[in-house]
Structure formats: C-alpha cells, structure tokens
C-alpha cells in the first residue's frame, strides 16, 4: 500500500505542474486578447483625438475608450498613444499614421500601428 502511494505522488505532482502551466498559458493568451479587444473598442475614439490634436501638442494621463495612456502626442503628422513600459522596460503603444507606415512598427489595422521601443518617450 505504501509503495502504491509513493508511486502516485510523482504522477500527482506532474499533473499539478501541467495544470499550472496550462493555466499560465490561458492567462497570457487572455491578456493578449483583452488588449486587442480594448484597442478595437477604443480605436474610433482614439482616431477622433488624433484628428483634432495639433502638431506638437501633448496630452498627459488620458483614458480614451477602454485604454489608458501616459501621453498622447502629435509628431510629424503621426499621433503616438503611449501606453507605458512593459516588464522589460521598453515603451509601447499605438501610432495613428494615415499617410505612411512608420518604421519599426507592427501593423494593427487601417492607419493603426503598434510600437514597442523607447524611441517615443
């Protein structure tokens, strides 16, 4: 009987580790989807801000739609919506650029791009 219990412990431990790993993956995927959904919900309001913001103007601590931004700034006909820093210390956010694709960005949709760097702080 004792040998059977000892044999079951490693199996239970492996099942617990597998369950924890699966939960971590689900949480990460949920957070990524949540950001995408918040962006989709907020894009119209963000575009309204982008169209009315003057060149060189910066807004601080803004909540637009379902997203919060440390700042929103127009530079060279592009509007940067700076969300903050990720765990690696890199800045990230969105760029509204209807005229051209900015460098070093990922296209999201239409005139929207996502950046992840410290260049826009």
- The yes-or-no verdict on residue 25 having pLDDT over 60 is no
DSSP string covering 80-91, please?
A: EEEEEE-TTS-E
Task: Report residue 64's pLDDT band, with 50, 70 and 90 as the boundaries.
Answer: very high
Q: What residues does 69 pair with on adjacent strands?
A: 62
State mean pLDDT over 49-53. Answer: 95
- The yes-or-no verdict on residue 6 having pLDDT over 60 is no
The pLDDT assigned to 117 comes to 78
The pLDDT assigned to 3 comes to 55
- The yes-or-no verdict on residue 12 having pLDDT over 60 is yes
Q: Which residues have a Cβ under 8 Å from the Cβ of 65 and sit 6 or more positions away?
A: 38, 41, 42, 43, 44, 45, 46
d(Cα 15, Cα 41) in Å, to the nearest integer? 38
Q: Report residue 74 as tokens.
A: 């127009």
Any idea what the Cα angle at residue 97 is, between residues 96 and 103, rounded to 5°? 105
- The yes-or-no verdict on residue 78 having pLDDT over 90 is yes
Tens-digit pLDDT profile for residues 99-113? 999 988 999 999 999
d(Cα 96, Cα 46) in Å, to the nearest integer? 9
- The yes-or-no verdict on residue 89 having pLDDT over 80 is yes
């Amino acid at each position: 009987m004792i040998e059977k219990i000892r044999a079951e412990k490693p199996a239970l431990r492996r099942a617990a580790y597998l369950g924890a790993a699966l939960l971590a993956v689900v949480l990460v995927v949920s957070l990524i989807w949540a950001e995408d959904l918040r962006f989709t919900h907020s894009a119209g309001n963000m575009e309204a801000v982008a169209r009315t913001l003057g060149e060189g103007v910066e807004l601080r601590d803004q909540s637009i739609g379902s997203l919060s931004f440390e700042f929103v700034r127009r530079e060279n006909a592009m509007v940067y919506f700076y969300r903050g820093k990720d765990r690696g210390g890199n800045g990230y956010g969105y760029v509204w650029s209807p005229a051209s694709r900015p460098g070093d960005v990922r296209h999201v949709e239409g005139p929207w791009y996502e950046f992840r760097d410290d260049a826009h702080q």
